[in-house]
Amino acid sequence: MQESEILIVGATGQKGSATIKALAEAAQQQSAPGPRILALTRSASSEKASVFLVTAPPGDEAQAIPLIDAAVEHGVRHIVFSSVDRGGDARSWGNPTSIPHFAAKHRVELHLRDATACAVSAPGGAAATSWTILRPAGFMDNYAPGAFGKMMAGLWATMPPDRAMQLVSVRDIGRFAARVLLDPGAWAGRAVGLAGDELTFAEAEDIFRQIVGRDMPRLWTPLCRGLRWLVDDAGKSMNCFERVGFGVDIEALRREDEQVQDFESWLRTSSGWVAGSKL
């Protein structure tokens, strides 16, 4: 049997690294050899069996669209695109939002869907390429130790006290990406929202105190309100989270995988806040 290959685009980032780790763990649990994993840290095109595509703003479209086109042209079997939830699985298709990098990922989603549909219908064209889109909510890992975590916690604290935020661990994004890449037929043509918890900032603080034993470190709230006003992307992001928010069906996702982390289990095992936990 020919060895399958998986190309990870954005392999050194959080989601790419988590996906490689999940693929390696899956291979250890199987008696048969796993796929050959190719890690790519710069945009390039190559003929591979499957591609996991992670892009970073501000160049999401410039990174993703040429690679999608090359993959479809060369008959890549399956493309997994890491996007973002924009109000639920159905609403996300028609809701780019006012956040620039969310809107860019929305345009990439539409291009991926249209490009693969054209390849299927083109007479004498390349072999059909299928796709899956993963749409994570906010990252729990944004609240890991460090200056960035303090800033993100401070921004979260500026939201209305009754407004909850959906969150997912980067570990779980990687685990779902690995599941799709190892069994693409079961996930073809699906856009899947990813979240493991939904919390107000006060609820997250309470859990943080219980697990870590102190308040969640954060920047001064008035300073973060200023950041929302001065930094266009931050302001648009927080305004969108307040008005619309994420819309992942968390219970449905847990039916897919009961090991999806909530905020407490992320703090205990994956956050870096507790001794022995792994980032």
124, 117 Cβ separation under 8 angstroms: no
**Per the structure block, which two tokens stand in for 114?**
């249209």
177, 134 Cβ separation under 8 angstroms: yes
Task: Classify residue 2 by its DSSP letter.
Answer: P
In angstroms, the CA 19 to CA 57 distance is 20
Amino acid 190: pLDDT: 97
- Mean pLDDT of the region 208-214: 97
Superfamily assignment of 5-269 in CATH?
NAD(P)-binding Rossmann-like Domain (3.40.50.720)
122-135 confidence digits (pLDDT tens): 455 545 899 999 99
CB-based contacts of 140, cutoff 8 Å, min separation 6: 167, 168, 169, 170, 196, 197, 261, 263, 266, 270, 271
260-272 confidence digits (pLDDT tens): 999 999 999 999 9
Amino acid 130: pLDDT: 94
